[in-house]
Amino acid sequence: MNRRYIFAATFIFGFTAALIIYFFAWNNYFWFDEGIFVQLVRNIAERGVWGITIAPDAFFSASLITIGYPIIYPAVAAVRLFGASIATFHVVASLFTLGLVMMFFLLSRALYGARMAAWGTLALATFTPLYGNGKSFAGEAPALFFLMGALLLLAYAERLERPGALLLLATGIAFGFAASAKPTFLVALPALLAALLWKYRYMVLTQDGRRATAVVALGVCGALAFWLWTQFGGASLARIFAHYANPYYIADFWPLISANLKRFFTESTPAHLAVLFFASVAFLGWKIRRREPVRMAEIAAFVFALLTLAFYVRTEGWYRYFFPAHVTLFLFLAPAAREFVGIFISRAEWQKRLFVVLISAAVAIQIPPLITEARRVRSDLPDTIGAELQALRDNRKVFFYNLPQIAARYPSGAFYQYIRMSDNLIVGQENEQLLAQGEFSVTLVPRISGPEIARIPSCYMAQDNVGKIFMYRRRLNVPCE
pLDDT tens for 236-276 read: 566 666 666 666 666 677 888 888 889 999 999 999 999 99
Q: Give the model's confidence band at 33: pLDDT under 50 very low, under 70 low, under 90 confident, else very high.
A: confident
Classify 461 as helix, strand or coil.
strand
Query: Nearest 5°: phi and psi at 87?
Result: -60, -40
Q: With helix as H, strand as E and coil as C, how does 123-191 read? A: HHHCCHHHHHHHCCCCCHHHHHHHHHHHHHHHHHHHHCCCCCHHHHHHHHHHHHHHHHHCHHHHHHHHH
Query: Does the pLDDT of residue 381 top 60, yes or no?
Result: no
Residue 424 near residue 66 (C-beta atoms within 8 A): no
SS3 of residue 109 by DSSP: helix
Q: Has residue 134 got a pLDDT over 50? A: no
pLDDT (mean) for 58-81: 90
What confidence tier does 314 reach under pLDDT thresholds 50, 70, 90? confident
For residue 378, which phi and psi values (nearest 5 degrees)?
Answer: -80, -20
Mean pLDDT score, 38-46: 92
The confidence band for 136, taking pLDDT boundaries of 50, 70 and 90, is low
Mean pLDDT of the chain: 88
The tally of CA atoms less than 13 A away on the side-chain side of residue 303 is: 21
Pick from 18-22, 72-76, 251-255, 361-365: least confident:
251-255
Residue 43 near residue 51 (C-beta atoms within 8 A) = yes
Pairing of strands 416-422, 425-427: antiparallel
Percent of the chain with pLDDT over 90: 52
Point out which residues pair with 398 in neighbouring strands.
442
For 149, other C-beta atoms within 10 Å of its C-beta total 24
Domain boundaries defined on the chain = 3-30+66-379, 385-474
CA distances from 313 to 192, 254, 282, 309 (A): 22, 9, 22, 6
pLDDT at 428 > cutoff 80: yes
Q: Is 240 in contact with 232 (CB distance < 8 Å)?
A: yes
Q: What is the pTM of this model?
A: 0.92
Least confident of 65-74, 184-193, 386-395, 401-410: 386-395
Cβ contact 325:273 at 8 Å? yes
Closest among 212, 128, 131 to 168, alpha carbons compared = 212
pLDDT score, position 159:
92
Nearest C-alpha neighbor of 189 from the set 229, 211, 216: 216
pLDDT at 230: 84
d(CA 65, CA 170): 26
Q: Report the candidate in 271, 285, 278 with the shortest Cα–Cα distance to residue 329.
A: 278
Instruction: For residue 279, give the nearest of 326, 322, 320, 321 by alpha carbon.
Output: 326
Residue 32 pLDDT = 84
pLDDT score, position 217: 96
Where on the phi/psi map is residue 55: left (φ > 0), alpha (ψ -120 to 50), or beta? beta
Please state, in angstroms and rounded to a whole number, the distance separating the CA atoms of residues 278 and 280. 5
Any idea which of 128-142, 167-181, 405-419, 430-444 has the lowest mean pLDDT?
A: 128-142
Q: Which residues partner with 473 through β-bridges?
A: 442, 461
Q: How far is CA 231 from the centre of its chain?
A: 18
For range 311-324, the mean pLDDT = 84
* Cα–Cα distance, 124 to 130 (Å, whole number): 8
Look at 210 and 2; give whichever has higher pLDDT: 210
- In contact, 248 and 316? CB cutoff 8 Å: yes
pLDDT surpassing 80 at residue 445:
yes
CA distances from 326 to 161, 171, 173, 189 (A): 32, 23, 24, 18
Please, are residues 25 and 98 in contact by the beta-carbon 8 Å criterion?
no
Give how far the C-alpha of residue 107 lies from the chain's centroid of Cα atoms, to the nearest Å: 19
Mean pLDDT of 170-176: 97
Contacts of residue 26, Cβ cutoff 8 Å, sequence gap at least 6: 134, 377, 378, 380
Q: Rounded distance, CA 294 to CA 115, Å? A: 19
Q: Is 255 or 187 the better-scoring residue by pLDDT? A: 187
Contacting residues for 94 by C-beta, under 8 A, at least 6 apart = 17, 20, 21, 24
